[in-house]
Amino acid sequence: MSALFPKPISRRELLKTACRKGAAGLSLGALGALLPASVRAAPYDERDDLDKYDFLLPRVRFNCDRPVPDKWNAHAIGDIHLLEDFSKVIRCKVKIPPGDNSDLLGPCKPSDFNAVVDLGDIEQMRKYPFLFMMADGSYHLNEQERANVKEYVNEGGFMLLDDCVLESVGDFFYWGSYRVLGEIFGQESLKRIPNDHEVFCNVFDLTEIGLPYLQGRFHPPLGIFIEDRLALFLSSTDIHCGWVDRDRTWFPLNEKIGRHTYKEAIQMGINLIMYALSH
């Protein structure tokens, strides 16, 4: 029996251990060596078997206040790209939905994601340590949904909220989230996340740039903290569209105009997942 793990543990516990060591400054090579080489990205399995995978990336399903081009279910290919790259860096088992990737732009079916969560169902939310919520419009949550969000993060869950950015300029989802989170936690609870926070350097060092900026109006990243744990991350910079743009067709000029690209967006996504799993 390995001295590092004297008792048998699950893949999920192994991943959490790797996350903690990664957060402490372990190199990527050493981090990957903690996990067996045979642990790779897994093919899709129709059964909802949470114990079969080390990580799932659930989308939050919700309604925007008015019709918008990109609703909660836009661009599933971005989620898949992040899952694929996460599994390569951390060498863990992720659930990849089926289907032709070329069809996963624009509105997508629930089956195009590896999980879909409704904020009105706290038991459904509790299944997952990480929830991802995005759109390009503002929204409201009812009393039960607000109570569930608060309960979920207080119990240890992590939420990423990223503005999909309407027509490359609007920040409607960002300000809608700012208002809703203020209703839930109190406006003073939204804190700016500094560049030297662990979420920017636990695997990839992004401390010089902080939150990658792909498009839209840049606002500093805001967070909800439960004691010293970052429990919710709010972004205005459309990092999800960065995950989509693996072939560099959406933002071909970003580097020339001082903005970021697929590389930084994916690195930020991996850092966020690792932080959530290790805290």
pLDDT (tens digit per residue) in 160-201? 999 998 766 679 999 999 999 999 999 999 999 999 999 999
- Asked whether residue 121 is domain-assigned, the answer is yes
Report yes or no on 231 lying in a domain. yes
The verdict on residue 4 lying in a domain is no
Q: Which of 38-42, 111-115, 175-179 has the lowest mean pLDDT?
A: 38-42
- Look at the chain and report how many structural domains it folds into: 1
Please state, in angstroms and rounded to a whole number, the distance separating the CA atoms of residues 217 and 104. 26
pLDDT digits (tens, 9 = 90+) for 199-234: 999 999 999 999 999 998 899 999 999 999 999 999
3 within some domain: no
pTM of the model: 0.84
Query: Which of 215, 217, 165, 199 is CA-nearest to residue 268?
Result: 199
What is the CA 126 to chain-centroid distance, rounded? 16
Residue 220 within a domain? yes
Burial of 18 (0-12, 13-18, 19+ CB in 10 A): buried
Can you tell me the mean pLDDT for 249-257? 87
Looking at residue 101, its pLDDT comes to: 63
Asked whether residue 2 is assigned to any structural domain, the reply reads no
Whole-number mean pLDDT of the chain? 84
Kindly state whether residue 148 falls inside one of the protein's structural domains.
Answer: yes
Domain range for 42 is 11-277
Residue 6 lies in a domain: no
* Domain harbouring 218, CATH code: 3.40.50.12140
